[in-house]
Structures are given as structure tokens and as C-alpha cells.
Structure 1
Amino acid sequence: MIEDMLDFNVNLLELNDDEQVAVYSPFRLSYLIVRSNRLEHLMREIRKINPCITLISEVEANHTSPAFVNRFIEALFFYGALFDSMSDQLADSEVNKKFAESVFYGEPIRNIVAAEGEERTVRHVGIDVWRAFFARFGMLEVELSDACLNEAKLLINNFDCANSCMLRVDGKCFLVGWKGVPIFSVSAWKFVR
């Protein structure tokens, strides 16, 4: 564990020359957007690792607008879909639903809607912004296969909510959403230069 992303470097890892490394980043990069020097540093260090694949899952929303109204509307649709999905999935557990809503999502919502300037630290962006960002580091998006898409659909179909869950291809990645509202993206990347 490191306290500051600027302390991370490839020398902290025990890597063998004969092994391949994959990097998985679930919903973490967007928290570094407001600390761009840390995000840039992390990307340079990951590049030194030269992973065979980098898998990224991120929130699929635009919570970066300087205009309050735009942020509010985007947050309303995004969190409305997220809470609606939780209502369906946690219908039998009101305590767990309220806990998730308040502990995991209460502060990000307040931050997106009420904070301004440097105080606004939650700044989700969509896959198109990530594509432009990763391209700066010589990363090429890798197409997720039809087999992956079929496996995901089979998994979703195991649940009663399958008709409400959205899974669609956007370029080479998948968007996962609820009742037509994208909630997160899943993408794969390789360093090419």
C-alpha cells in the first residue's frame, strides 16, 4: 500500500522477466482526474511495466461540467438509474439498500452537485474521454470478443432483472447500464509504442 500515488513506481513490484503482467483498474482512475499529476505519473509507471493487457472499468457519465445545471442533470439520470437498479436487486433488504445509498453514493452525489472548484473531487468522464487520454500514452483499445459479450449476456440472463439490464458494444468496449442509461464501461488496452 502506498499513501500517495506519486510514491508508486515499478521498482515496488516483484516482477520476473519471464512472466506476463495484466493490470486491472476497477473504478479508480476517475478519482485521480482532479489530481492530474498523479494520474499522469501512474500511467507512466504502468507503461514501464508493459502489461500484456490493461482492463479498465469506469463510471460512464460526465460529471465534470463547470455548469451546475449540466452536472445536476447528468447526476440525476446516472444516480436515478443506479438507485433504480439497487431497488430491484435489494428489494428484500431495505437496510442494505439504504446503507449502500448513503455510504457509497451519498458523498459522491453531494460532491458532484454541491462542490465547486478544487473542492469538487468526483469527476467521472465517459469512455470517449478515456480513449483520448489513453491514446496520449500510446495505448490501443483492444476489441472485446463476441465470446465475452455472449458470456456477459448469459450471466445477466440468470437474473430476474435481465430485461432491465443493458449491455451494448461501443466501439471496442462494452457499456453496461440500466433501462437504457449507461452506468459503466469495460474496456481493454495495450501499449503499442
Structure 2
Amino acid sequence: MSYCKRFNVPFEYNAIAKKWDTISLEDLKIERDEMVVVNCLYRLRHVPDESAGLDSRRDDVLNLIRKINPDLFIHGIVNGTYNGSFFTSRFREALYHYSSLFDMLDNTIPREDHDRLLYEREEFGRDVMNVIACEGPVRTERPETYKKWQVRNLRAGFRQLPLNQDIVKEVKAKVRKGYNNDFLLDEDSDWMLQGWKGRVMYALSCWMPVRE
């Protein structure tokens, strides 16, 4: 807010206390002719998909974003395969995913670091418990791979934008210069991929609605 005042930028904040799949276009109070950017980073994994035994609420959210008709849709996802119906395969895939995350922490942050302990308990611990111990609508950790999200986004009426190669080169240079050598930064099908020791854990891409 202080930043907006400093540069004389009009600012309004419209909080919406609803599940994402129940939000309507009218709730957003978008003004005519204003530039709109939808910034959705790593949260759509909490919206139920077909595996929850319901119609895909994810498609409903994507359809809402399509109706918003944004100038840009930034989509960041957790690249996970631990969303299966069978417990054994879900447990195995979750083990691979979170083992990589903890290995990354072991190589970059001391185990006794207070912030690390807090994050492990409040973020990773809660997520792992949900994946392993919960079923049905109570299981809210339901990630998909970036390739599956690509199909969803295209089906919802979006077209993917190419990555800005200048930005990609700059980010790769920073990773090579100042980060652990095991950090992964790569590209595939216009997704920027991030991971550890060859395992892709996050992906980021930009989209626009197909306009006829």
C-alpha cells in the first residue's frame, strides 16, 4: 500500500472468502478496459479434480479465468504424481517427491535452523499428512504434472506464450553462479521447470485466452 502511495498508483483490495470453484465473475468487480493479470502460483492443486469423485472443479476455475479474459494468466504448479486413488502408489510417489525436498534442504540449510524447522512442520509436514492419511474430499493435496495442466489449459481455451529467453538466460546464470549445482532449471514446452537432482518439482508458464 505504501508503495502505491509513493508512486501515486490507485490501489484497491477486494477480499473474497469463497472456495475458488464457487467464485463468480461478478464477485471480482473488474472494471471495464482495465488491464487484468491472473497470477495463480502453486494453489490450484488444492482445488478438487476428477480423482475426488466429482466433476473437475479445476476445469470450473479455469473456465472462470477464461471468462475474466485476462491480458495474462501466470500459472505456477507443483509438479507431482502423488494424486492417485491407490494408497501404495500415492505413498511411493509422495516419498520420492518429499525426499527430494528434504534432500535439498539438507544440502542448503542446517537442520537446526529455526525457519527450516518451522517450514518443515507447518508446510511439508501438514501436506505429507494430508496426502497419506486423508481420503475423499478431505484430501486436499492433489497435484498434477505440468503436462496434464497443459492439456487442461488448452482445453479451457488458452494459448501458451513462449518463455522470454532473455529472462530464462538471466535466471539460469544466477542459478549457476550463486546456487547449489544440484538445483535444476530447465525448459520444456514453454514451461520453466525447477527441481533438484533431475526431479522436476515446480513448473511455471504464461497463457492468454484464445480470442476469436
Q: TM-score, normalized by length of structure 2?
A: 0.81
User: Greater CA deviation, 69-78 or 50-59?
Assistant: 69-78
Once the two structures are superposed, what CA deviation does each residue of 1:120-160 show, in whole Å capped at 9, x if it has no partner? 22111101110111122111121212112112113323534
Count of aligned pairs: 192
Once the two structures are superposed, what CA deviation does each residue of 1:133-189 show, in whole Å capped at 9, x if it has no partner? 11221111212121121121133235341x111011111111100111111000111
- Over alpha carbons, which structure has the higher Rg? 2
In the alignment, structure 2 segments of 5+ residues that lack a partner are 1-15
The answer for the alignment partner of 1:166 in structure 2 is 184
Measure how far apart 1:89 and its partner are: 3.0
State the SS of the aligned residue for 2:115.
helix
CA distance in 2 between partners of 1:41 and 1:101 (Å): 32
The answer for the alignment partner of 1:77 in structure 2 is 96
CA distance in 2 between partners of 1:10 and 1:166 (Å): 38
Q: RMSD of the TM alignment (CA)?
A: 2.1
- The partner residue of 2:46 within 28, 31, 40 is 31
State the SS of the aligned residue for 1:3.
coil
State the AA in 2 paired with 1:180.
Answer: G
Once the two structures are superposed, what CA deviation does each residue of 1:43-98 show, in whole Å capped at 9, x if it has no partner? 22221221111111110111111222221221111111111222233227522212
Q: In the superposition, relative to structure 1, how do residues 9 and 158 fare at CA in structure 2: closer, same or farther (>3 Å)?
A: farther
State the SS of the aligned residue for 2:59.
helix
The answer for the alignment partner of 1:192 in structure 2 is 210
State the SS of the aligned residue for 2:187.
strand
CA distance in 1 between partners of 2:179 and 2:21 (Å): 44
Overall identity of the aligned pairs, in %: 27
- The partner residue of 1:20 within 35, 47, 63 is 35
Q: In the superposition, relative to structure 1, how do residues 120 and 13 fare at CA in structure 2: closer, same or farther (>3 Å)?
A: closer
The answer for the alignment partner of 2:11 in structure 1 is none
In the alignment, structure 1 segments of 5+ residues that lack a partner are none
Measure how far apart 1:6 and its partner are: 4.5
The answer for the alignment partner of 1:9 in structure 2 is 24
